[in-house]
Amino acid sequence: MGFTFQEIMPAIAGMTWQHLVMIAVGCTLIYLAVKKQYEPTLLLPMGFGAILVNFPLSAVLTQVQGGETVVGALNVLFDAGIATELFPLLIFIAIGAMIDFSPLFQRPSLLLFGAAAQFGIFITMILATIFGFSLKEAASIGIIGAADGPTSIIVANQFAKDLLPAISVAAYSYMALVPIIQPPVIKLLTSKSERKIRMKTDANKKVSRTTLVLFPIIITVMAGLIAPSSLALIGFLMFGNLIRECGVLNSLSQTAQKELGNLVTILLGITIASTMTAERFVQLDTLMILGLGIFAFVFDTAGGVLFAKLMNKFLKPENKINPMVGACGISAFPMSARVIHGMGLKEDPTNYLLMPAISTNVGGQIGSVIVGGLLLMLVPLFG
């Protein structure tokens, strides 16, 4: 009785160069997570998952063997957590429980940068349509610029399921690369004197508990009235924040911040990786999406910086805004704020930009979620 090599070693026999490329991609993600510490909580599960799913007949994915369908664990997780959008929304509860909105009350006008720094999303969407992507695909690619992984997953899952792996990898990888992407763009658009501008902030301003409890409720109501399609995103974010601020659910708040956030993050990363198969990932479209993702990040940063420069034309000298702070209007929290604070200290070791940068960054979190909801509402209308 003779067995062929394919029958004895089906995985090795079925291995293609595309599988090897994806295993190399997985190893690279793990390297970035472990060695460079770029978003390790997500890049490591994604990297390991990319290795897991790129063996022919891998048992973690659904396979048909001898006419029988054997369901893979990662497919079960995908159907339960990503296709239903449950995992990203649960992550929003955790993020909401982690965010302290009180810095926004020190200088609420900084909230506007959370809008200005979404500019790159729309520019990228337009560019993606020029490159031949459909409207829904273009919107999903543009949202990478939100620097907001869960929002990117939700939009891509609704509009462009085939592009989900590339979009989620780009979104999370570039979030981790904020310290590399933002500084050159900011330096290109600002003068040394602009980068030294000191900002007036009321660091001692305290916010009442009533205010902090009312804030997530009112924001949810307003979002529900203006753009109900954003309500899942905003609502879960604000629910998490309400648990944090209400003062009577400290145990739940801690659980949401730690256990819930950690558990869902582990599952989210490895589940996204279930889509990183060679057949879906090793394509020209993936490279284009990665390129467009960087473009979105760059133009989001530019949008925030240029908006600050525009505002400065109308502000009194004592109220001027350091244009670098505008770049924090993206959602990568608190990394973007830390980067800007560090850049400010390099220009002038006595200029502390952390508080306004944090305020702007918090605004960016709200802005990215709003834009995600708006795209979910607008794109089907123009269909």
Partner 1 sequence: MNIDILNKALQISGIGIATVFIFMAVFYFVIVGIDKFFPYKEEEKKK
Segment contacting partner 1 (CB under 8 A): 39-47, 257-265, 280-288, 370-378? 370-378
Query: Count of alpha carbons within 13 Å of 73, Cβ hemisphere only?
Result: 8
Q: Which of 32, 270, 371, 376 binds partner 1 (CB under 8 A)?
A: 371
For partner 1, the closer of residues 70 and 218 by Cβ is 218
109: its two tokens: 């006008």
Neighbours of 345 (CB within 10 A): 14
Asked if the peptide bond before residue 349 counts as cis, ω within 30 degrees of 0, the response is no
C-alpha–C-alpha distance, residues 65 and 50, integer Å: 22
- Specify whether the CB–CB gap between 355 and 106 falls below 8 A: yes
Choose between 183 and 304: whose C-beta lies nearer to partner 1.
304
# of chain residues touching partner 1 (CB under 8 A): 50
202: left (phi over 0), alpha (psi -120 to 50) or beta: beta
- For partner 1, the closer of residues 39 and 285 by Cβ is 285
Say if residues 365 and 148 touch (Cβ distance below 8 Å).
Answer: yes
Closest CA to 109 of 212, 221, 200: 200
The nearest distance, CB 74 to partner 1, in angstroms, is: 34
Stretch that binds partner 1, among 85-93, 151-159, 176-184, 205-213 (CB under 8 A): 205-213
In the complex, the smallest distance separating the C-beta of residue 93 from partner 1, rounded to whole angstroms, is: 20
Nearer Cβ to partner 1, position 213 or 252? 213
Q: Is the Cβ of residue 205 or residue 258 nearer to partner 1 in the bound state?
A: 205
Count of residues for the chain? 383
Kindly tell me which of 40 and 103 has the beta carbon lying closer to partner 1.
103
Which CA distances in Å does 222 have to 59, 313, 370?
47, 31, 11
Residue 318 CB, nearest approach to partner 1 (Å): 20
Nearest to partner 1 of 324, 379 (CB atom): 379
- Which of positions 159-188 make contact with partner 1 (CB under 8 A)? none
**Residues linked to residue 64 through DSSP beta bridges, in sequence order:** 69
Nearest approach, Cβ of 11 to partner 1 (angstroms)?
42
User: Minimum distance between the CB of residue 210 and partner 1, rounded to whole angstroms?
Assistant: 4
Torsions phi, psi of 223, nearest 5? Answer: -65, -40
From the CB of 226, what's the least distance to partner 1, in Å?
6
String of contacts with partner 1 for each residue 107-146, x by CB under 8 A: -xx-xx-xxx-xx-xxx-xx-xxxxx-xx--xx-------
Q: How far apart are the first and last CA of the chain?
A: 59
Residue (of 51, 86, 53, 88) closest to 72 by Cα position: 53
Q: How far is the CB of 363 from partner 1 (least distance, A)?
A: 7
User: What does each C-alpha distance from 94 to 237, 244, 249 come to in angstroms?
Assistant: 8, 10, 14
Residue number, 76 or 227, with CB nearest to partner 1 = 227
Nearest-angstrom CA–CA distance, 128 and 142: 8
**Which residues of this protein are in contact with partner 1, per CB under 8 A?**
104-105, 108-109, 111-112, 114-116, 118-119, 121-123, 125-126, 128-132, 134-135, 138-139, 205-211, 214-215, 218-219, 222-223, 226-227, 363, 366-367, 370-371, 374-375, 378-379, 382
